[in-house]
Structure 1
Amino acid sequence: MDVQEYEFIGVAQRNGVATITMNRPEVRNAINDKMRAELIAAFDAAGADKNVRAVVLAGAGKGFCSGGDISGMRARLDAPAGEVAFNGWKRQGSTHRGVAAIHDIGKPVVAAMNGGAFGLGLDMALACDFIIASRDAKMAMSFIKRGLVSDGGGMYFLPRRVGLARAKELILTGRVVEAEEALALGMIDRVVEPEALPDAAQAWAEELSQGSPAAIALTKAILDKTFESSDSAIFALGREAQAICYTTAEHRSAVESFLNKTSK
C-alpha cells in the first residue's frame, strides 16, 4: 500500500495490516469534510492493495472520535432557511459514503476504540466488523442530545449487535456507556488495558486475515446480508461464492497440501 500523505488521516502498514488513524487529536478527532474525504481515500486504497489483508481504524490522542465537527453544525444553522434541507441531504450523502467505505471493504476491519466514541464516531466504530476497546473507553449515541437522529448507520448496525429494544434504549436516551457494560451488551467485542490496545488490535487483525482473501471477502459480503435475506437467498449467494473459491490459487494450494499430507 502506497502510504499517501493526508492532513487529517495517518496510515501505517505492518504484517499485512493497515492502521488508518483519525488524526485531529486537538478536537478528539471530530470529523470535518476533509477528514471524511481522506478517510474514504485511505479505505479505498487499502481495499485495492493486495498486500493489505486487514485494517485497523484508530483515533489519535485521548479519544477515538467525538463525532461530527461543530463547525459543520454551525454552518448548517447559519445557512438560509431555504437551503438547509438540500444542504443537509448532500452532506448526508458524503457521510454515508464514508461509512460505506468502512463497512463494505472486503477485508476484516477492527476498530481500536481508545477513549471516547460519540455520535458519528460511535456509528463509524459500529460500521467496523469488530470493536476492541480500552478499559477507559466510553461511548454514546449522542444524537438525541442535539435534536438529531443517528445518521451514520447506527440505527442499522446497533440493533444487530444488541437487539432492537436495547438499541432503542441506547439511542433514545443517548446515555454514556462504559467499556465493561458495552462488552456485556455486545456493543463491543473485547476490552484490554489502554497501553495494550494498539498491539492487541494489530494481533487480532492479523489473526482474522490469515485465510484466503477471496474467501474472506465473499464470506463477509454474504454475512452482512444475512438478517435482510431469506435462507434461500443466502444459500444461493453461498453457492455462487463457492464456485469462485474453487478457482482460487489459495484453494488449489490448500487441497494439494492436504492431499499430499494424507497420501504419505
Structure 2
Amino acid sequence: MSNNLVCVRKEEGIAYVSLNRPDKYNALNYELFKEIDVCINTLKKDKALRAVILFGEGHSFCSGLDVKSVNRSPFDAVKLLFKLLPGNANLAQRVSIGWRRLPVPVIAVLEGVCYGGGMQIALGADFRIAAPECKLSIMEARWGLVPDMAGFVGLRELMPKDQALMLTMTADILTAEQARSFNLLTAVEADPMAAAIVLAQRLIQTSPDANAAIKQSIQKSWSAPIRQLLRRESCYQVRLLAGKNRIIAAIRQSKSPQKEYKNRQSGW
C-alpha cells in the first residue's frame, strides 16, 4: 500500500508505515489525518501482520497540526472533531488511539521534531524509540488549545499526574534524554530505526495470538480494579489454551493411522 501522504511497506510480517509530508516536517493536515485512519483500518484486517514500525519521512516524525491548512477550511476542522457520541473517537483521536487498537505491537521511531499532534500519535504506539537529537513537546497549550487527540490515554499510563500536568501546561520542549527521564520514551538510540527493527524482529518470534492478548490485557487492566484484571487474565488465557488444544487435536488427527492410510490410498 502506498499513497501520497502515508506509505506502507511490508517485509516478513512487519509493516513500515511512514508519514510523508517531509517538506512540512510531516505536519498534520486533514488529508494526512484521513490517510492515517485508512491505513490503521487496513492494517487491522491484515492477518499476516506481526508488528508495525511507524516513522516520518525526511528525518522528522511530525511537527504537529498544520494550523494554516486546517484554518483554510473550517469544515475540515468540523470533520476532524465530529462524533455521534461523546465517548466515541473522532478522526483526530483515531490517529492516536487507533494504533493501540491494532492487535500487534506498534513501535514509533522519533527523529527531528515530535510536537503537539505528533506527540499524541507517538503516545498511541506501544514503544517509542528516539534519536538523541529529537525534540519532543506536548505543545497545544502554546496555541491556546487542549490536547484532544487521545494522547492522554497513553500519557496517564506513563507518568504521575503532576508531571503530566506540568508538561502539558508549560508546553516545554524536551530533549530526548529529558523525555526518557519522564518515561515518555522507551529508549534513546543513535540509530532509532535500526533499534526498532531489532525490537520488531524479537517481538515477531513470539506467538502473535499471545502478543495480541497481552497487549489487550495490559491496556484494559492497567488501571482497572483487581477483580477485573484477574477476570481478564483468566479469560485471555482460556482462549489461548483452547486455541492451542484445537491445533493439537487437528495435528493428532492428521497423524492417525486411519488418516495416514487414506492419504496413502489417495497417493499423498
TM-score under structure 1 length normalisation:
0.85
Tell me the SS of whatever aligns to 2:154: helix
CA contact (8 A) 2:70 2:76 kept: no
Q: Aligned residue for 2:57?
A: 60
For structure 1, list consecutive stretches of 5 or more residues without a partner in the other structure: 257-264
CA contact (8 A) 2:37 2:91 kept: no
1:29-178 to structure 2, matched below 5 A, reads: 29-75=26-72, 79=74, 89-90=81-82, 93-178=90-175
Q: Aligned residue for 2:18?
A: 21
State which of 206, 211, 215 in structure 2 corresponds to 1:211. 206
CA contact (8 A) 2:6 2:18 kept: yes
Structure 1 position 42, deviation (Å): 1.8
CA contact (8 A) 1:16 1:206 kept: no
Structure 1 position 61, deviation (Å): 0.5
Amino acid at match of 1:234: L
Pick the structure with greater CA Rg. Answer: 2
Amino acid at match of 1:35: L
CA contact (8 A) 2:108 2:125 kept: yes
Identity %: 26
In structure 2, C-alpha distance between the alignment counterparts of 1:86 and 1:141, rounded to whole Å = 22
Deviations 1:41-67 (A, max 9, x none): 222222222222000110000310011
Deviations 1:168-215 (A, max 9, x none): 11000000000011112211011111xx22221111112123221111
Counterparts in 2 of 1:215 and 1:144: CA distance versus 1, 3 Å: same
CA contact (8 A) 1:130 1:189 kept: yes
1:227 aligns with 2:227: no
Larger mean CA deviation between 84-93 and 174-183 belongs to: 84-93
Structure 1 position 234, deviation (Å): 1.2
Aligned residues: 244
Amino acid at match of 2:95: G
